[in-house]
């Protein structure tokens, strides 16, 4: 908890970064605390203070760097064959390549669209001619 307080109230960026790195060391020693630490850091990522957000980002970086690599052991063919296929099992809900239909996805799937951001730019064609109150009202609409 003291490290989190230092993320927020550390007097210098060096102090905040040291606290962030120590949070990463906590994950190295206690990997089971990963979700707990990340949920606490999330609060500081949303802080109104810029330096706190920077320190929280450094904490996330330090935590992620110290997460042990997860290498699950693959199931052998015998283990897979010994289980009876059960329609109620959670594995039936998973996407499988043999059931994936790209045509159906393209026809019925939601579009993921990109943007160059031009629609968010403020257009000040005649900024001198517009009443300041009206200009502010337009800017608020764009938010």
Q: Tell me: the pLDDT tens digits for 56-73? A: 999 999 999 998 787 777
pTM across the whole model? 0.51
What pLDDT is recorded for position 89? 55
Span 29-62, pLDDT tens digits: 988 888 889 989 999 999 999 999 999 999 999 9
Tokens of 131: 């009443």
C-alpha closest to that of 49 among 99, 7, 81: 7
C-alpha closest to that of 6 among 39, 107, 25, 17: 17
- Structural domains of the chain, with CATH: 2-65 (1.25.10)
Higher pLDDT, 96 or 37: 37
């Amino acid at each position: 908890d003291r490290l989190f307080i230092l993320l927020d109230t550390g007097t210098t960026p060096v102090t905040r970064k040291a606290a962030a790195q120590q949070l990463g060391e906590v994950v190295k020693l206690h990997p089971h605390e990963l979700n707990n630490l990340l949920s606490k850091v999330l609060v500081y990522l949303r802080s109104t203070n810029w330096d706190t957000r920077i320190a929280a980002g450094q904490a996330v970086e330090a935590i992620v760097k110290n997460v042990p690599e997860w290498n699950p052991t693959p199931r052998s063919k015998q283990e897979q064959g010994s289980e009876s296929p059960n329609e109620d099992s959670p594995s039936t809900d998973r996407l499988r390549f043999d059931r994936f239909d790209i045509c159906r996805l393209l026809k019925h799937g939601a579009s993921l669209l990109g943007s160059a951001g031009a629609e968010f730019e403020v257009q000040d064609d005649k900024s001198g001619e517009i009443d300041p109150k009206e200009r502010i009202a337009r800017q608020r609409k764009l938010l």
